[in-house]
Amino acid sequence: MPLTVVLAQINLKVGDLTGNAQRITAAAVEARERLGADAILFPELALTGYPPEDLLLRSDFLDQCEATLAELQATLHGIHLILGYPRRRDGVLLNAAGVFYNGERVAEYYKALLPNYSVFDEKRYFEPGGTPCVVTIKGVAVALTICEDIWFREPALRAAAAGAELLLNLNASPFHTGKSPEREELLRKRALESGLDIAYVNLVGGQDELVFDGGSLVMGRDGRLCQRGPAFAEALIPVQFGPQGPLPGAVAAHCEEVEAVYRALLLGVRDYARKNGFQGAVLGLSGGIDSAVTLALAVAALGAEQVEVVLMPSRHTAEMSNQDAIAEAEALGVRHTTLPIEPAFATLLQMLQPLFAGLPPDVTEENLQARCRGILLMAISNKQGRILLTTGNKSEMAVGYATLYGDMAGGFAPLKDVPKLLVYRLAAYMNREREIIPQRVIERPPSAELAPDQRDSDSLPPYSLLDPILERYIEQDQGVAEIIAAGFDPATVARIIALVDRNEYKRRQAPPGVKITRRAFGRDRRYPLTNGFSATL
């Protein structure tokens, strides 16, 4: 009889100990009753959700963790329960994984390698462990490691040296583009060099700026991918380990890049709204591509009846924009209202006239229009209890082509980490079956419509130049000289980078949005506001 382990790729909620315990219990009961599992493997810190951040500094939180874990331990019998939780021991906190069986804790492992880069702050909370932990389950010598441990050689080699045959790795590994194939290659290498079969279980779901993409998998010690679960969806994945290692099972294919981004955004929006108790969403629809894509995401995530859109044309809005916006709403069956901003804009201009008399119009008047829209949308959001979605993309956030408290006002920014060129690719993907984003919206030159005949290209280089420069500067930390050496115009590079640097203060007050690239704005990129460094010297 082979050993059956269920990989519990489930969606948990940070801090919701009671809810998470219920989700863990339900999965364990199903694994035992329906799937005949000997063991069930949950993600890293499954009890708390990931990342619990500074909740880990609260002793009342850790007390409740211990009480909840004790109850799980006492309640769930007849299956090996393997899950992650924070563990206080000898005056320090450890990132732990425990094996529980019939009311006993039979083994416990502490994470050796604590990530403290990118979005991770684990050294803020935890001390490292690392002593191998091997336990025999149904005749198989099983070792545990946690997430980061598998990205380096030593922990798996130590587990093998301690006599393990099968390595169970508990993860909370957030999505970025290209990570799924990277994980597969990594696990293949790790399996081959350690001679261990490896089962890798990953969390799924959105948590603030992170989306965990699942894709749990099993890699044989011979480097054969034996099984992979779905991406971006919950799954209980039963895996059988016989005398020759893991038996073959279903292998879900990697998502193509744009599809993966689409599904990450969908899950991120849905979970942010759902886990924070919003009934629905509202957003401003301009007739431009960003708000069209944001609307389509919101509808896919929450349902058309839960989404409301507002058209807020100004004296600078082309009639074509209104027509396209209405076409978008109608294609998706979404309620739309039109609130021209002219009355508010005119009133505010008149109120400010005594102070502004004799001064030429400048960005102030452009910002005023964006802020009239922000104030109307926030009023609707407040009155209806809907979350306001902002529509800005990463390229705009990077160069500050956005108005603080205007189009940046809102609770969640779905496209915050999506560069403009990728927004176009998303639009094409969304139109793959039927046209939900009018072709004209995709083809028109982009404009903020805050001044007469304004176009993005008046003040920015074309996105086909802007996006690669931004990627090199923000995601790859390339300096000016390096970017220029790659063939970009020196003056353009200098101007773009100066814009990025100068607009850090806007990003600091921006709403959260889903990380989909290797480096997102937010926790992932921690720049000073007061910053005298001139990369363009």
Candidates 232-240, 290-298, 391-399, 527-535; binding stretch for a second copy (CB under 8 A): 527-535
Candidates 25-33, 104-112, 178-186, 375-383; binding stretch for a second copy (CB under 8 A): 375-383
Decide: is 358 part of the binding site for a second copy (CB under 8 A). Answer: no
Candidates 2-10, 95-103, 134-142, 401-409; binding stretch for a second copy (CB under 8 A): 401-409
Q: Distance between CA atoms of 55 and 124, rounded to whole angstroms?
A: 12
Alpha helices in 169-209 (DSSP H): 179-194
Task: Report cis status (omega within 30 of 0) of the bond before 445.
Answer: no
Decide: is 400 part of the binding site for a second copy (CB under 8 A). Answer: no
Of residues 122-151, those binding a second copy (CB under 8 A):
123-124
Three-state DSSP class for 47?
coil
Q: Output the smallest distance, CB 91 to a second copy, in A.
A: 15
Among 180, 202, 207, 447, binds a second copy (CB under 8 A): 207
Among 363, 428, 486, 491, binds a second copy (CB under 8 A): 363
Q: Distance between CA atoms of 523 and 210, rounded to whole angstroms?
A: 10
Catalytic one of 13, 65, 108, 111: 111
Decide: is 505 part of the binding site for a second copy (CB under 8 A). Answer: yes
Of residues 236-265, those binding a second copy (CB under 8 A):
none
Decide: is 438 part of the binding site for a second copy (CB under 8 A). Answer: no
Q: Distance between CA atoms of 426 and 98, rounded to whole angstroms?
A: 41
Among 22, 34, 57, 491, binds a second copy (CB under 8 A): 57
Among 5, 28, 325, 480, binds a second copy (CB under 8 A): 480
Cα angle 20-93-115, degrees, rounded to a multiple of 5: 85
* Chain centre distance of CA 1: 40
Phi, psi of 472 (to 5 degrees): -65, -40
Q: What is the number of residues in the chain?
A: 537
Cβ 46 vs Cβ 84: under 8 Å: yes
Candidates 213-221, 227-235, 403-411, 458-466; binding stretch for a second copy (CB under 8 A): 403-411
Decide: is 513 part of the binding site for a second copy (CB under 8 A). Answer: no
Nearest CA among 9, 517, 426 for reference residue 230: 9
Residues 6+ apart with CB under 8 A from 126: 86, 92, 93, 94, 95, 111, 114
Decide: is 535 part of the binding site for a second copy (CB under 8 A). Answer: yes
Tell me which H or E stretch contains 261: helix 257-275
Phi, psi of 406 (to 5 degrees): -110, -110
Candidates 102-110, 201-209, 423-431, 446-454; binding stretch for a second copy (CB under 8 A): 201-209
Decide: is 477 part of the binding site for a second copy (CB under 8 A). Answer: yes
Decide: is 296 part of the binding site for a second copy (CB under 8 A). Answer: no
Among 104, 243, 253, 355, binds a second copy (CB under 8 A): 355
Q: Output the smallest distance, CB 58 to a second copy, in A.
A: 5
Q: Which is nearer to a second copy, 350 or 464 (CB)?
A: 350
Decide: is 275 part of the binding site for a second copy (CB under 8 A). Answer: yes
Q: Which is nearer to a second copy, 83 or 140 (CB)?
A: 83
Decide: is 479 part of the binding site for a second copy (CB under 8 A). Answer: yes
* Catalytic site includes residue 44: yes
Catalytic one of 133, 147, 226, 372: 147
Residues 6+ apart with CB under 8 A from 537: none
Candidates 14-22, 97-105, 257-265, 452-460; binding stretch for a second copy (CB under 8 A): 14-22
Q: Distance between CA atoms of 238 and 475, rounded to whole angstroms?
A: 37
- Token pair for 209: 């700026």
Tell me which H or E stretch contains 354: helix 342-356
Q: Output the smallest distance, CB 51 to a second copy, in A.
A: 7
Going residue by residue from 313 to 332, which x/- string records binding to a second copy, judged by CB under 8 A? Answer: --------------------
Decide: is 309 part of the binding site for a second copy (CB under 8 A). Answer: no
- Categorise residue 128: left if φ over 0, alpha if ψ from -120 to 50, beta otherwise: beta
Candidates 96-104, 188-196, 213-221, 341-349; binding stretch for a second copy (CB under 8 A): 341-349
Decide: is 409 part of the binding site for a second copy (CB under 8 A). Answer: yes
* Catalytic site includes residue 255: no
Among 323, 347, 457, 459, binds a second copy (CB under 8 A): 347
Q: Which is nearer to a second copy, 74 or 379 (CB)?
A: 379
Q: Which is nearer to a second copy, 347 or 439 (CB)?
A: 347
Q: Which long-range contacts (CB under 8 A, 24 or more apart) does 154-163 make?
A: 154/112, 155/112, 155/113, 155/130, 156/190, 156/193, 156/194, 156/196, 156/198, 157/193, 157/194, 158/130, 158/132, 159/132, 159/134, 159/194, 159/196, 160/194, 160/195, 160/196, 161/132, 162/132, 162/134, 163/134
Three-state DSSP class for 209?
coil
Q: Output the smallest distance, CB 310 to a second copy, in A.
A: 9
Among 3, 8, 41, 49, binds a second copy (CB under 8 A): 49
Q: Which is nearer to a second copy, 222 or 477 (CB)?
A: 477
Cβ 309 vs Cβ 332: under 8 Å: no
Decide: is 52 part of the binding site for a second copy (CB under 8 A). Answer: yes
* Catalytic site includes residue 53: no
- Token pair for 310: 């507002």
Q: What does the CA dihedral 274, 279, 284, 287 come to, rounded to 10 degrees?
A: 80
Beta bridge partners of 143: 134, 167
Decide: is 91 part of the binding site for a second copy (CB under 8 A). Answer: no
Number of residues that bind a second copy (CB under 8 A): 87
**Residues annotated catalytic, as ranges:** 44, 111, 147
